[in-house]
Amino acid sequence: AYRRNIRVIGLERVDVWILKGRKETLRKVKEILSSVENSLTLTTTENGSILFFKLFNKCLDRLIERNVKLTVNLSPGRRNHNVVRELRYVCQVRCLPHIPPILFLNGDGRKVLLSYRIPDDYSLNSDEDIGLFSESKVFTDFLSIMFSFTVLKPRKLRERSVN
């Protein structure tokens, strides 16, 4: 009866994992990268893009060889202009002026990772990072929609609210 009522009401229980520390987050990132089949969206800061490219450039090369559609949203800056240039050769890159200190990954629309990162911390052993991970398509869609409205399109939202 309980499961039947959940479906009628429209509730769905999903697993959301809490990731504590940078090592755990990076381990999960590698797991997502190795399992992606069709598409991957990455959003991160200037410093986050440097660390990501340094650690996972070989994984990105394998994704490109497998014809996975890559989309990278990042904050451009002096320190990551080489990363931006390299990525533009192999995937769609969107430069955004203000991204909070996060790492957002959406793999195939079914795996999502959202992690808060300590700004300007390149250490692989930072215990301050915390993140969420889920393999729920519904939760992935929800976070992607919320993320696109709050981070990727904030100017358009402000323009709408003014008019």
The enclosing domain of 61 has a CATH number of: 3.30.870.10
pLDDT tens over the chain, length 163 residues:
555 545 556 777 889 999 999 899 999 999 999 999 999 999 999 988 988 999 999 999 999 999 999 999 998 889 899 889 988 988 999 988 888 899 999 999 999 999 998 776 667 777 788 999 999 999 999 998 887 766 666 544 444 434 3
- Paired with 115 in beta bridges are 103, 131
Q: 55, 81 in Cβ contact below 8 A? A: no
With respect to residue 6, please indicate whether it lies within any of the assigned structural domains.
no
Pairing of strands 69-74, 92-95: parallel
Identify whether 148 is part of a domain.
yes
Counted residue by residue, the chain has a size of 163
Whole-Å CA distances, 146 to 15, 63, 64, 131, 149: 19, 26, 27, 16, 5
Region of residue 123 (left: phi > 0; alpha: psi -120 to 50; beta: else)? beta
- The answer to whether residue 4 is domain-embedded is no
Number of structural domains the chain divides into? 1
Per-residue pLDDT tens digits for 4-33: 545 556 777 889 999 999 899 999 999 999
Q: Which domain holds residue 57?
A: 14-162
Task: Flag whether 2 is in a domain.
Answer: no
pTM greater than 0.85 (yes/no): no
Residue 116: helix, strand or coil by DSSP?
A: strand
